[in-house]
Amino acid sequence: MDLIRNLTAALDNPTIEWKKYILVFSAIEFTLESYLLARQYSVLCSKKIPKQLEKEIDQETFDKSQKYGQAKAKFGVVKSAFSLLKNAYVIVKDILPRAWGLSAGVLATYAPAWMPKGEIATSLVFIFGFQILETIIDLPFGLYYHFVLEEKFGFNKQTYSLYFTDKLKGIALSIAFGVPIGAGFLKIIQSTGNAFFLYVWVFMLAVQLIGITIYPTLIVPLFNKLTPLEPGELKERVEGLAKRLEFPLAELQVIDGSKRSAHSNAYFTGLPFLPKKIVIYDTLLEKAETKEVEAVLAHELGHWKMGHTSKLLGISSGHLFFMFALFSVFIDNKSLYEAFGFFAEKPIVIGFLLFNDVLSPTDALVKFGMNALTRKFEFEADEFSKRLGYAKELAGSLIKLQIQNLSSMDADPWYSSYHYSHPILTERLKAVGWTSEKKVSSDKPKIGESVEANGGPKKDL
Run of H or E including 255: strand 249-255
237 occurs within a structural domain: no
Q: What is the pLDDT of residues 37-79, one digit of tens each?
A: 999 999 999 999 988 888 888 899 999 999 999 999 999 999 9
Give DSSP secondary structure letters for 344-383.
S---HHHHHHHHHHHHHHHHHHHHHHHHHHHHHHHHHHHH
Domain limits at 152? 2-229+281-452
Percentage of the residues of the chain whose pLDDT score is greater than 90:
60
Count of positions (residues) in the chain: 461
Identify the CA nearest to 284 among candidates 448, 159, 428, 457.
457
Domain membership of residue 256 (yes or no) is no
Neighbours of 373 (CB within 10 A): 15
Q: Pick from 389, 388, 387, 384: which is nearest to 461 by CA?
A: 384
Please pick, among 150, 382, 393, 410, the residue that the annotation labels catalytic. Answer: 382
* Residue-level pLDDT at 448: 35
pLDDT-above-70 percentage for the chain = 94
Task: Check residue 274 and give its pLDDT.
Answer: 80
**Is position 182 within any domain?**
yes
Asked if the structure places residue 80 within a domain, the reply is yes
- Round to whole Å and give the CA distance between 348 and 120: 9
Statement: residue 438 has pLDDT above 70: no
For residue 271, being part of any structural domain is answered with no
Asked, for residue 216, whether it belongs to a domain, the answer is yes
Domain contains 458: no
Place 445 in a pLDDT band, splitting at 50, 70 and 90.
Answer: very low
CA–CA separation, 365 vs 382, rounded Å? 26
Instruction: Find, among 342, 325, 382, the residue nearest to 123 by Cα.
Output: 342
Question: 300 catalytic, yes or no?
Answer: yes
- Residue 37's pLDDT is what? 95
What's residue 461's pLDDT? 52
Residue 4 has pLDDT above 80, yes or no: no
DSSP for 264-333, written as a single string: --EEEE--TTS-EEEEEEHHHHHHS-HHHHHHHHHHHHHHHHTTHHHHHHHHHHHHHHHHHHHHHHHTT-
Q: Please, which pLDDT band fits residue 25 given cuts at 50, 70 and 90? A: very high
Across the chain, mean pLDDT equals 87
pLDDT at 203 (0 to 100)? 96
Closest CA to 87 of 37, 171, 27, 18: 27
The mean pLDDT of 318-342, rounded to a whole number, is 92
**pLDDT digits 0-9 by tens, 189-248:** 999 988 899 999 999 999 998 888 888 888 888 888 989 999 999 999 999 999 999 999
Q: How far is CA 204 from CA 40, 117, 199, 210, 359, in A?
A: 37, 24, 9, 10, 20
Confidence category of residue 264, pLDDT binned at 50, 70, 90 = confident
For residue 147, the model assigns a pLDDT of 95
Distance in angstroms (rounded) separating the CA atoms of residues 183 and 254: 36
**Mind listing the pLDDT tens digit for each residue in 345-402?**
899 999 999 999 998 888 888 888 999 999 999 999 999 999 999 999 999 888 888 8
Q: pLDDT per residue over 126-145, tens digit each?
A: 999 999 999 999 999 999 99
Q: Which residue out of 294, 300, 378, 460 is catalytically annotated?
A: 300
Question: Catalytic residue at 338?
Answer: no
Given this model, what pLDDT does residue 380 score?
Answer: 96
Report the domain count for the chain: 1
DSSP track, 399-452: HHHHHHHT--S---HHHHHHH-SS--HHHHHHHTT--------S-PPPHIIIII
What is residue 2's predicted lDDT score, i.e. its pLDDT? 65
Highest-pLDDT range among 9-18, 327-336, 430-439: 327-336
In a domain, 243, yes or no: no
pLDDT of 272 above 80: no
Residue 221 burial by Cβ neighbours in a 10 Å radius (0-12, 13-18, 19+): exposed
**Closest to 330 (Cα-Cα) out of 344, 318, 315, 347:** 347
* pLDDT in the model for residue 205: 93
Whole-structure pTM value = 0.84
The CA-atom distances, in angstroms, between 143 and each of 15, 147, 154, 250, 292 are 44, 6, 15, 38, 34
Average pLDDT over residues 24-30: 93
Question: Beta partners for 359?
Answer: none
- How many angstroms separate the CA atoms of 408 and 215, rounded? 31
Q: According to the model, what pLDDT value does residue 446 have?
A: 38
Helix (H, G, I), strand (E, B) or coil at 226: strand
Mean local confidence (pLDDT), 299-308: 92
